[in-house]
Amino acid sequence: MKLRPITALILAALAGPVAGEDLMQVYREAQRNDPSLAAARASWTATQERVPQARSALLPNVSAGGTAYLNDGRTDFTGGNIPVTANSYSNAGLTISASQPLYRRQNQLAYDQAQRLVEQADYTLAVAQQDLILRVAVVYFDVLLAEVNIELAEAQKAAVSEQLAQAKRNFEVGVATITDTNEAQARFDTIVAQEIAARNDLDNRRTALRAIIGRMPGALKKLGPAFEPELPTPNVLETWLDRALTENLNVRIAGYNVDVASLEIERARAGHLPTVDLVAGAGVTWGTGSLASDFNFNSRDARIGVAVNVPLYQGGFVESRVREAIALQDSARQVLETARRNAIFNAQNGFTGVNSAAASVTAFKQALRSAETALASNKLGQEVGVRTNLDVLNVTQSVFQTRRDLADAYFKYLIAVLRLKAASGTLSELDLEDINRRLGG
């Protein structure tokens, strides 16, 4: 079997046909159909209402009410000459009252908390968007790698099939033993089983992508011609760790939780403080009489003033709330510390992953060249009788395994780049678009 050079290999194993859905098309569809992102958007929308709800406690509160009665009274005394008395009348009234908080420390702190929660919601939604980018990219490349496995299994099966046919011919003419034929047959049967497993794996990967976009994907665009992986800029671990500590989205979210918890302590302590409200009211009543009178009447009144409420004793409720809020603040601080450590861990893994994957690409390129050279030498050696059919089969296996490893290294590099940027809080659609430009090239 004539081997293709490295450039042809990359184009065949990775590039494939240009037609198909590219990475950004799949991502856009995932944005429309992924239930996790839809839930995050709905949660973000709901959180926006926290501010107007909290602000309402700082604004005037106005209410109105009214009453209307129709009364029919009758008194009947039995015995003697006492007459029966009857009295029917109606009365009604309207009232309006208003209050404006002048000093309510708890309400002001609740408003500050609501503002923090709304700001936090932006980062929470951004985390969901970053998570979708990573999930789409991982599953997309999982599908491509599964397709590469099938393509290489088919090519390997064809190569081993040729070796099997050659071994049978050599055995028939007496220049090889039955052992060569049996070894080639065993290797061929193994590859058939591997191909079946690879096709099943592809089905599973495509099903995973369907769970994100809501339908079974069509053909996907593969990577374009081989490219040289770029190392992180700057290629200094400490820089990325510092970015992760300050810009990682989960760290920012945890920081907002600490702020909210601190405000909750102040809010609990404010339970000891007095409240001052400006209050006003007006009312009007009228009627056609009463039980004691048949005269029509009409009255009105208006009032305005300041209401002060000073809490004296609440059964220890405020002190308990303060202790609870302090404990929750400590919990929030520990969660923040966990988020920082996770950010450092993910940044270091991402940084190492990018450098390691880039080095792997270079190493597997060279390994593939060496494996191709070794295979060509073994095939020539078999022709002159210094190499056996098993030698050729083993080197052929090495060539195809290296091809698969090279494809996997490319995919791991691209995912590592995305993970590093996610750890540093900078992952965006632009990064996905940059990878997408490498598709179908």
Number of domains in the chain: 2
Do 319 and 305 share a structural domain? no
8 Å CB contact between 51 and 118: yes
Give per-residue pLDDT as tens, 173-220: 776 678 878 887 888 888 899 899 999 999 999 999 999 999 999 899
Do 167 and 38 share a structural domain? yes
The whole-number average pLDDT for the span 266-294 is 90
- Note the pLDDT of residue 198: 92
Q: If residue 41 lies in a helix (H) or strand (E), which one and from where to where? A: helix 35-47
- In angstroms, rounded to a whole number, what is the distance separating the alpha carbons of residues 393 and 161? 10
Do 200 and 325 share a structural domain? yes
Token duo for residue 306: 């300041």
- In angstroms, rounded to a whole number, what is the distance separating the alpha carbons of residues 439 and 429? 15
Do 351 and 302 share a structural domain? no
- In angstroms, rounded to a whole number, what is the distance separating the alpha carbons of residues 179 and 171? 9
Do 426 and 364 share a structural domain? yes
- In angstroms, rounded to a whole number, what is the distance separating the alpha carbons of residues 210 and 217? 6
Do 182 and 132 share a structural domain? yes
Query: Per the domain annotation, does 54 fall within a domain?
Result: yes
pTM for this predicted structure? 0.83
Supply the Cα-derived Rg of the chain in whole angstroms: 39
pLDDT, mean over the chain: 88
Of the residues 282, 310, 338, the one at which a domain ends: 310
Of the residues 284, 310, 336, the one at which a domain ends: 310
The whole-number average pLDDT for the span 127-133 is 97
Query: Per the domain annotation, does 80 fall within a domain?
Result: no
The DSSP-derived string for 232-269 is PSS--HHHHHHHHHHH-HHHHHHHHHHHHHHHHHHHHH
Do 251 and 354 share a structural domain? yes
CATH at residue 98: 2.20.200.10
Do 388 and 303 share a structural domain? no
Least confident of 38-42, 230-234, 292-296, 372-376: 292-296
- In angstroms, rounded to a whole number, what is the distance separating the alpha carbons of residues 181 and 381? 18
Highest mean pLDDT among 11-20, 74-83, 173-182, 374-383: 374-383
Which is higher by pLDDT, 387 or 80?
387
Highest mean pLDDT among 161-170, 182-191, 361-370: 361-370
- In angstroms, rounded to a whole number, what is the distance separating the alpha carbons of residues 381 and 175? 15
- Note the pLDDT of residue 291: 65
CATH at residue 141: 1.20.1600.10
- Note the pLDDT of residue 80: 57
Query: Per the domain annotation, does 125 fall within a domain?
Result: yes
Query: Per the domain annotation, does 200 fall within a domain?
Result: yes
Query: Per the domain annotation, does 110 fall within a domain?
Result: yes
Buried b (16+ CB within 10 A) or exposed e, 248-261: bbbbbbbbbbbbbb
Do 158 and 38 share a structural domain? yes
Least confident of 22-26, 209-213, 220-224, 266-270: 220-224
Of the residues 310, 334, 361, the one at which a domain ends: 310
Query: Per the domain annotation, does 441 fall within a domain?
Result: no
Sign of the torsion formed by the C-alpha atoms of 270, 272, 278 and 281: positive
8 Å CB contact between 18 and 440: yes
Query: Per the domain annotation, does 81 fall within a domain?
Result: no
What is the bridge-based pairing of β-strands 275-287 and 61-75?
unpaired
Do 132 and 52 share a structural domain? yes
- Note the pLDDT of residue 78: 60
Chain length of the chain: 441
Do 204 and 122 share a structural domain? yes
**Residue entry with tokens 């052992």:** 179
Query: Per the domain annotation, does 37 fall within a domain?
Result: yes
The whole-number average pLDDT for the span 260-277 is 97
Question: Is the bond preceding residue 17 a cis peptide, omega within 30 degrees?
Answer: no
Band (pLDDT 50/70/90 cuts) for residue 141 is very high
- Angstrom CA distances, 420 to 1, 124, 143, 239, 361, stand at 42, 19, 22, 12, 18
Do 112 and 27 share a structural domain? yes
Q: Which domain holds residue 421?
A: 6-58+106-272+315-436
- Angstrom CA distances, 244 to 109, 181, 250, stand at 30, 58, 10
Task: Read off the DSSP letter of residue 387.
Answer: S
